[in-house]
Amino acid sequence: MSVTPALGELLRRAPVIPVLTIVDAKVAVPLARTLVAAGLPVLEVTLRSGAALAAIAAMRAAVPEALVGAGTVLDARQLHDAVAAGSQFLVSPGFSATLCTAAQGAGVPLLPGVATPSEVMAARAAGLDTLKFFPAAQAGGVPMLRALAAPFPDVRFCPTGGIDLKSAPDYLALPNVLCVGMSSVAPAVLLESGDYGGIGRLARQAAALGPRSGA
């Protein structure tokens, strides 16, 4: 098992974290290998299916160069199940002090979601300065993140939700954004058809993203 880097370092590994919903654990290993080979080594597997924990365990065992985390972690039970499966980091859609305490006890980095200044303040009070901005597009997108930068100059974000290859550069241009989360890197239609070539092409485009020219 590889050592998990600090959360900020982990999020700087690539401009995009693929947000993966896996319904068949058999695709986990070829999917992870495809994404890592394309330059996206940090993978978030959402706990939205019964195959998620098995997929995380399979990725950790077969693709050691990947950094695999569990997403959509809602409570302490899910957190402990995800850690037991080998999750190296945890992502939740919102902020929960209870979940934060559980993650600290497990010794695994937590990236909690926030959408308002009050939630950012609650997360900072819990000792967190690296947060998920979710749902990014619906919560105000780039203008909202610009607005949050002034009162919270020490906080960095991974915006997720409604971001695609076209809009990602505008987020990546912001100084308070470390990376973005994106589900469109591995769409269900390509996973279901086993089109890893197509996924690889999307992943390479995502790995090459940077701030939009002139941003």
pTM: 0.95
C-alpha torsion sign, points 5, 11, 14, 19: positive
User: Domain locations in the chain?
Assistant: 7-207
The residues that bridge with 158 in the sheet, in sequence order, are 132
Q: What is the mean pLDDT of residues 76-105?
A: 97
**pLDDT one-digit tens code per residue, 6-31:** 899 999 999 999 999 999 999 999 99
**69 Cβ contact partners less than 8 Å away, ≥ 6 residues apart:** 42, 43, 44, 45, 87, 88, 89, 90, 91, 111
Residues designated catalytic: 44, 132
> 7-207: what CATH class?
alpha beta
pLDDT at 5: 82
Q: What is the mean pLDDT of the chain?
A: 95
- Pairwise CA distance, residues 8 & 97, whole Å: 20
Where do we find the tokens 């941003």? 215
pLDDT at 181: 98
pLDDT at 142: 98
Q: What is the mean pLDDT of residues 193-206?
A: 98
Measured at the CA of 70, the angle between CA 61 and CA 131, to 5 degrees, comes to 135
pLDDT above 70 for 1: no
**Could you count the other beta carbons within 10 Å of the beta carbon of residue 74?**
13
Give the pLDDT band of residue 210 (cuts 50, 70, 90): confident
**pLDDT one-digit tens code per residue, 147-197:** 999 999 999 999 999 999 999 999 999 999 999 999 999 999 999 999 999
